[in-house]
Amino acid sequence: METRFVIIAGLFLVQVIGLLYGYAAPLIHNLLLPAAALIHFYVLLAYNRHLHDESRQAVQFYSTNLDSTFEFMENLGNAITAKIDLPRVLEIIIASAVHNIGADAGAILMIDEYEDVLRVRATRGIYPPLAPVPALARVNTAALKRYFQETPIPIGETILGEAVKSGQALLVRDAREDPRLGANREDDILFVSSLIAVPLVVSKRVLGVISTLKRAENRHFQDTDFQHLKTFAEYASITIDNLYTYLEVLEKRQMEREVDIAAEIQQKLLPGELPKLVGGSLAVHSRPARGVSGDYYDVLPLDQDKVALLVCDVAGKGIPAAMVMIMIRSITHLLVSPRLEAAATLTGINRGITGRIDVDHFATLGLVIYDQARRQAVYANAAHLPLLVWRASASKLLRVDAEGLPIGVEREGKYGQRRFDLERGDILILCTDGILEAMSPRNEQYGLKRLADVVQAACGLPANGLVQAIRADIERHAAGARQHDDQTLLVLRIE
């Protein structure tokens, strides 16, 4: 009959949580309901074990704690339904642990993400350090609490670090008989009478430790207290681990959303429509390896005859690279002028950027200023790929280069430029290394030779047709293989 009561009470607990907070809520469905079922299982297990041991006192202990279990679950639900508040959840956990076993104080310490130390994450009551402390920390309880909360504990040191290192729960029934608590015997502010430390473990992975203690002399924890906290710690471990996982998912989604927003902003900064040229056509292909691109291209009419074409590749990926790209774009739009040579434009961009970005986010940039009236181009290069020029008269793809350091490396960097005439049928190709280094499933690069073959086959097409032919060939080469670099291709065909 009593066992049936425990089963009914446990099922009632699970159902009430669902009714209170909603079965469909993702956090309730994935965290609170499994947790409630789990703690119900443990209560039932303990109940039956002690029933068969004929320990009526233990039976009463676990049965009456169903009420505190329900109260704990309700408090936990209130802490996480409106807003995920991990510190508040940890405070509820330690408060419940202290209350349920009649302790005077308690603490939860978690393993630091980057160091092999424990850091205090929640306390209840006055939990003193379990090691000698400076005199200033013993001035009053506020100073002692602050010292305990701010001082990391190396894993393996003190009883708390030992419990984490071994993965074993520890019961110090009488602190006076344990040499590890020598610092907590005489000084009233540090005094500890009895202590329990239980590691928080999920799938053999230790997350931290939960500990309770008694401070009044001759008040000691019993075996039932020890067993209860170990059972409680198993549930707390799962709760904390699920919350960590849930928060990581939320953080990842937030980051993904931020990347999406940054990508949208970046896309709006690129030319919406390429300008129409007299006696020429323009086309572009740009594909980021992931949400935010480190590549930047632009086409800027300078006057009635001249137009500037540029392709830029910022070192690094993601939002930091995109920020550098935006800076370069802003400076470029301020500097370009029909009276300023290509090399002088790069000099100005470099001086505007250098010292304002990290060195590991330097950029390479290729700039063409094309004069439509004269059919003449000037190319300046900041350590970018050479300009590719298809000469229709020779049916050959040539490389045109000029000296120059990357943007952002050396403020007084010098830039050269190359001037050359163009004829009908000639083609200028600016691209980033993501085009030539596109990888196949067999880890082979696309390469300049294959690009030259496509240009030769499609050189009679307008710029848009040539770009589409190159893009299709790159996709055939990649055959679905994941690409790790942004791809940008800007083409000008003289007609």
Q: What is the pLDDT of residues 424-471, one digit of tens each?
A: 999 999 999 999 999 999 999 999 999 999 999 999 999 999 999 999
What is the predicted pLDDT for the residue at 478? 92
Q: What is the pLDDT of residues 102-111, one digit of tens each?
A: 999 999 999 9
pLDDT band (50, 70, 90) for residue 318: low
Q: Is 110 left (phi over 0), alpha (psi -120 to 50) or beta?
A: beta
Residues 463/491, Cβ–Cβ less than 8 Å: yes
Task: Say if residue 306's pLDDT is above 70.
Answer: yes
Phi, psi of 171, deg, nearest 5: -120, 120
**Signed CA dihedral, 210, 103, 99, 120: sign only:** negative
Task: Say if residue 351's pLDDT is above 70.
Answer: yes
Residue 432 to residue 453: CA distance in whole angstroms? 18
Helices (H), 213-288: 223-269
Within 10 A of 37 (CB to CB), how many other CB atoms are there?
14
Task: Say if residue 26's pLDDT is above 90.
Answer: no
**CA separation, residue 424 to residues 282, 308, 372, 400, 419 (Å):** 14, 19, 12, 18, 17
CATH topology for 261-494 is Phosphatase 2c; domain 1 (3.60.40)
What is the predicted pLDDT for the residue at 75? 58
Higher pLDDT among residues 366 and 267, named by residue: 366
What is the predicted pLDDT for the residue at 78? 56
- Give the orientation angle of helix 318-335 with respect to helix 223-269, to 10 degrees: 20
3 state SS of 181: helix
Task: Say if residue 149's pLDDT is above 70.
Answer: yes
Report the predicted TM-score, pTM, of the whole model to 2 decimal places: 0.57
- The structural domains of the chain, with segments of one domain joined by +, span 261-494
- Mean of the per-residue pLDDT values of the chain: 83
What is the predicted pLDDT for the residue at 211? 97
